[in-house]
Structure 1
Amino acid sequence: MPKITYIDHAGTARTVEGAVGATVMETALRNNVPGIDAECGGACACATCHVYIDDAWTEAVGPAVDMEQDMLDFATDVRTSSRLCCQIRITPELEGLTVTTPARQG
């Protein structure tokens, strides 16, 4: 199972194992990672699972699709590295992925 590291806005890191095929959001919720609210349950209908992708992982994670980009309009402090983690499926290639949560969710 690939390990994903979640860093909160204060710099506290939590590394958890995620199942291949699950989303980064589902993995956060299953492991009680703070900072991921996921109010829509992963339907890409809100921006409460907003994260920043570490630059080293941008290519591996891939770009956001149009619907995700539209939802990011509702997020707080959007950056070029912003993604909704409900839209990132865990693959073996994402072993070691690092994401950071914003100070607050949109």
Structure 2
Amino acid sequence: MSTSTEITTDAELGKVIRVVEKFLEPVSLTSDGGEGKVFRFGTPGGAYVTVSSDLKIEVDEIESWLDIYEQTEPGAAQRIYQVLAEQLSERVTLFAPDSADVVAEANVS
């Protein structure tokens, strides 16, 4: 069974998707459409990623998130985190697999 690793960022969803398209070589990027857009893609190494955004109730701000199932690509979450941290100026946070424990955080102001 694969584990799920979450990455969150203060960057808007459209900006995150542009980084995904340009730097992560997504396999079959698709959108579920609708108001609360949800995107899904695979990686060349076999990870499966869901990307969307939600309202952070406590601060009334939108936060984009990625949920990564590494399956046949161990290290995919760390690789995706590094790309997002380098390409975005907004905060990017990597959590431990199946946990709310923060592993790394970049672009914190």
Return the TM-score normalized by structure 2: 0.30
Q: Where is the helix percentage greater, Structure 1 or Structure 2?
A: 1
Q: TM-score, normalised by structure 1?
A: 0.30
